[in-house]
């Protein structure tokens, strides 16, 4: 049997826009990547404060979309097999139609502004389907984005999920203005995170989790740092198992560094330098909460997340 026709999945968040063009292997059901691209566009710049997209941020994102359209055309992906998903920043922006209309004109498809619950389910599918050796029982997948963080629990499919309005960009803009952040700023940010985690614990039974799987750029970057890599290697970070106490130490270090010091670290993408500290704080507080509730002492990392979930879902519908 031959590989399926290609599909194109696009995930547009608060900080980045990503493209996956893939086929499905009919024997294994796994995705076979043709293209996997990322552009740091910071679409959600200032949205938490103003409730609107900045025109310059919109143009940056549309520019990235034009480049993606060239790749989609190159690989012969039919318009019906393209899915563009927009998440936290687009949910919050009052002028979202300007952005949505621009994307529709470029790609010929209308972006889907999905709910936090939909985002959580897609992230879960993308992560759990690709990480080997997970224990039996419910797995907790955590997706830390720029504007929101999703926690979703399940075995093969989600049973509990919640989307929290806290992410690396949103938290940085709200609290961590000083370089490096002051103790008072970190304390205020921690109060916000913990209050939302109280809501999460009421909606998602963290004590049932048998494994903690982190996805997306904050977690994968921290994993690469904790692994002591000299160059970013997704073949090493994907599926990595780390002790929570070791990851927490790296989180504290990243949060305490200046932006210049972070920039010296070749593993940190330039588009994450100013917000990785906030992401590290979010991840640290989540790990502590989950460990206390479940007794879990390790984390697993997945390089596959909502982007893969979008592609798999799209393939389900196109055959």
Mean per-residue pLDDT for 169-179?
A: 92
Mean per-residue pLDDT for 42-70?
A: 90
Residues 6 or more apart in contact with residue 77 via CB below 8 angstroms: 5, 6, 7, 8, 21
pLDDT at 82 over 60: yes
Angle at alpha carbon of residue 211, lines to 208 and 215, rounded to 5°: 120
Q: Any idea where the domains of the chain sit in the sequence?
A: 7-114, 131-303
> Would you state the pLDDT for residue 191?
96
> Would you state the pLDDT for residue 93?
84
What's the rounded Cα separation, in Å, for the pair 168 and 15? 9
Confidence of residue 319 (pLDDT cuts 50, 70, 90): low
Q: Thinking of the domain 131-303, which architecture would CATH place it in?
A: 2-Layer Sandwich (3.30)
pTM confidence score: 0.88
Mean per-residue pLDDT for 155-183?
A: 91
- Among all chains, which residue has been given the structure tokens 């008072």? 184
The predicted-structure confidence for 112-126, as pLDDT tens digits, reads as follows 888 878 888 888 888
What's the rounded Cα separation, in Å, for the pair 262 and 10? 28
pLDDT at 127 over 90: no
pLDDT top residue among 304 and 294: 294
Nearest to 128 by CA among 139, 115, 113: 139
Identify the CATH assignment for 7-114 out of 3.90.1150.10, 3.30.420.40, 3.10.20.30, 3.50.50.60.
Answer: 3.30.420.40
Asked, colleague to colleague, whether 7-114 and 131-303 share their fold, the answer is yes
HSE on the CB side for 54, CA within 13 Å?
14
Mean model confidence pLDDT for the chain: 90
């Amino acid at each position: 049997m031959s590989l399926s026709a290609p599909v194109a999945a696009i995930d547009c968040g608060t900080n980045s826009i990503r493209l996956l063009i893939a086929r499905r292997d009919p024997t294994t059901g796994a995705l076979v990547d043709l293209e996997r691209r990322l552009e740091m566009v910071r679409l959600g710049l200032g949205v938490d404060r103003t409730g609107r997209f900045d025109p310059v941020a919109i143009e940056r994102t549309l520019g990235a979309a034009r480049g993606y359209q060239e790749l989609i055309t190159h690989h012969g992906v039919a318009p019906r097999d393209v899915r563009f998903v927009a998440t936290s920043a687009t949910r919050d922006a009052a002028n979202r139609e300007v952005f949505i209309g621009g994307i529709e004109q470029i790609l010929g498809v209308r972006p889907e502004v999905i709910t936090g619950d939909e985002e959580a389910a897609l992230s879960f599918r993308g992560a759990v389907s690709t990480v080997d050796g997970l224990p039996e029982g419910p797995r907790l997948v955590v997706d830390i984005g720029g504007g929101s963080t999703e926690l979703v629990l399940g075995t093969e499919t989600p049973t509990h999920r919640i989307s929290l309005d806290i992410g690396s960009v949103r938290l940085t803009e709200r609290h961590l203005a000083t370089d490096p952040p002051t103790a008072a700023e970190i304390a205020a940010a921690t109060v916000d995170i913990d209050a939302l985690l109280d809501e999460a614990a009421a909606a998602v039974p963290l004590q049932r989790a048998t494994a903690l799987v982190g996805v997306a750029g904050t977690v994968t970057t921290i994993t690469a740092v904790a692994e002591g890599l000299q160059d970013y290697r997704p073949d090493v970070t994907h599926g990595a198992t780390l002790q929570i106490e070791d990851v927490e130490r790296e989180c504290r270090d990243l949060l305490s560094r200046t932006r210049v010091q972070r920039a010296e670290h070749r593993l940190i993408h330039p588009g994450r330098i100013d917000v990785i500290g906030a992401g590290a704080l979010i991840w640290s507080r989540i790990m502590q909460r989950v460990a206390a509730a479940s007794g879990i002492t390790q984390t697993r990392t997945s390089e596959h997340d909502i982007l893969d979930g979008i592609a798999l879902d799209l393939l389900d519908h196109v055959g």
